[in-house]
Amino acid sequence: MRVRVKLVSLLRDAVDGAGEVVVEVDGDKAQLRDVLEKLYTSYPKLKKLIEGLGERGLGVVYMVNGQGVDLDAEVKDGDLVAILPPASGGAVLE
Amino acid sequence: MRVRVKLVSLLRDAVDGAGEVVVEVDGDKAQLRDVLEKLYTSYPKLKKLIEGLGERGLGVVYMVNGQGVDLDAEVKDGDLVAILPPASGGAVLE
Amino acid sequence: MSKPIIRVGLSKEPVSLDDVAARLARETNGLGAGSLVVFMGFVKGVVDGYKVNTLSYEAYEDVALKKMEEIAREEAAKWEKTYAIWIIHRIGVLKPGDPTIYVFVVAEPRHKAFELASRILDRVKHEVPIYKLEAREDGEYWILGDHTRVRRGEELQEAEKR
Amino acid sequence: MSKPIIRVGLSKEPVSLDDVAARLARETNGLGAGSLVVFMGFVKGVVDGYKVNTLSYEAYEDVALKKMEEIAREEAAKWEKTYAIWIIHRIGVLKPGDPTIYVFVVAEPRHKAFELASRILDRVKHEVPIYKLEAREDGEYWILGDHTRVRRGEELQEAEKR
């Protein structure tokens, strides 16, 4: 199965500027965590970057087809995964 | 001495629509209350109207040459008196 | 910090929001500003269930302008990161949907801009000698103070009976 | 009461405040509305003492639009006398002084319009997947979350060392 993964902001820099990366995983469906692990074998920097952000309180959100999900989520052929850092909110109280 | 009196909103209706009325008072200066009494002899409706507004909590403000004053204020020849009802504020909490 | 851009006015014509917004953004972004709040009042087409035909504004002009400027300066002085305050009040005979008042505030952070605009508007409505006559399908009303509508002529008739 | 006029968008071009304000005043005055609050954000020319060259916005578009509409509908539902909510966010490469976001709220009384606009803005800034890259004279910064600026490339170099 093939899954598209959308990357924005600094995560895009970690995949050499590609806004969308295609990941191939064996079988008809998989858990999101497996898709990501496959992605990270191609882009190990991306994994380390996401971990680094999490440690700074800037944890990412995962979406499948526009719905927020966790790492257990089922992903099927043709799905669109997104990894989103915190929105650029600007300070509420500056 | 001659004094101009500016009237707005419903007070203007009480002087037959004139936005400004000239009042003549004997002498070089007078207290505002004397100018007003003179004005009221020409427009008795105006006095009753102002009293009626006061009773409804819509008391007027007096100005001489753009400064808020009370009825003891001294008025001289050429001064501009204004009688102002409460501004049309619209409700703060509706 | 440089002095805030303050401007007040009474205008028979509508004001271009685009022109003012572009100008304020151009003149304040270099100072570190990025938040503009605009309030635009407009004539309601229906009040108390009655159709409104016109709303006429008159100001005691000299005092109104002086008071508007005083409000702008006082409010600007309360918060250092105030970059611009413009207050323009319409005068004359307006129709439903026509703009009646404009308040522009550039301040940081954005919450302060909202707070300032809201407070300035309250003060203008209460402290500036501007008067409304509302012509509705059921008659003409003078609007006085916060809530009071006085039917034109009625108060005068009552005064005559006193 | 009729349904509020809700519109959300991502726009590469600036929006005419005059056009939107005139349209909203025209379409809502007959319902008893008379208060429009507009927030317009614009690019700051200076941040942390450094000159800004550009601010680039990218959105995860489908989700951003869905989320903006959700915010508008939820906030409109909280207050009956909400007549219109428009939220337009700019995307693309913007320069100091260029508008970045527009929030339009028509609601009564006016304090509610201010409150709604302020809350909508907060929610958009925090809940909508829109990302900024700030190019300043001292380098490029990704802006993440409420406060954090990450110098472009730095985080990646650190990741490689882990």
Domains located in chain B, CATH noted = 2-84 (3.10.20.30)
Q: Please state the rounded mean pLDDT for residues B41-70.
A: 93
CB within 8 A of D102, min separation 6: which ones? D15, D17, D20, D38, D39, D40, D41, D86, D87, D88, D89
In this complex, how many residue pairs, one in chain B and one in chain D, have their CB atoms less than 8 Å apart? 7
Neighbours of chain C (3+ CB pairs under 8 A): A, B, D
Q: Please state the rounded mean pLDDT for residues D73-93.
A: 98
pLDDT band at A92 (very low <50, low <70, confident <90, very high): very low
Domain residues of chain C, as ranges? 5-161
Q: Please tell me which of the candidates B6, B51, B66 has its beta carbon nearest to residue C66.
A: B66
Q: Please state the rounded mean pLDDT for residues A46-54.
A: 93
Judge contact between D13 and D100, C-beta under 8 A: no
Cα gap C34→C28, rounded to integer Å: 8
Judge contact between A80 and A35, C-beta under 8 A: no
D36/C31 CB distance under 8 A: no
Distance (Å) from the alpha carbon of B57 to chain C's nearest alpha carbon: 9
Encode pLDDT of D102-121 as tens digits.
999 999 999 999 999 999 99
> Residues of chain D with pLDDT > 90: what percent?
90
Looking at beta carbons, which residues of chain A come within 8 Å of C111? 92-93
Q: Give residues 65 to 94 of B whose Cβ lies within 8 Å of D.
A: 91-94
Residue in A closest to C34 by C-alpha: A90
| CA-closest candidate to residue C158, choices D49, D140, D34, B45 | B45
Query: Does position C73 have pLDDT exceeding 70, yes or no?
Result: yes
| Residues counted in chain C | 162
Q: Please state the rounded mean pLDDT for residues C72-99.
A: 98
| CA-closest candidate to residue C87, choices C133, C58, C122 | C122
Looking at beta carbons, which residues of chain C come within 8 Å of B20? none
Predicted pLDDT at C146: 77
Distance (Å) from the alpha carbon of A89 to chain C's nearest alpha carbon: 12
Please report, for residues C15, C33, C36, C156, the alpha-carbon distance to residue C21 in angstroms, rounded to integers and kept in the order given: 11, 13, 8, 45
The CATH classification number of C5-161 equals 3.90.1170.40
Predicted pLDDT at C1: 59
* ipTM given for this complex: 0.93
Residue in D closest to B94 by C-alpha: D109
D108/B93 CB distance under 8 A: no
Predicted pLDDT at C97: 98
Q: Number of H helices and number of E strands within chain D?
A: 4, 10
Query: Does position D130 have pLDDT exceeding 50, yes or no?
Result: yes
Sheet of D5-11, strand order = C5-11, C82-90, C99-107, C35-42, D35-42, D99-107, D82-90, D5-11
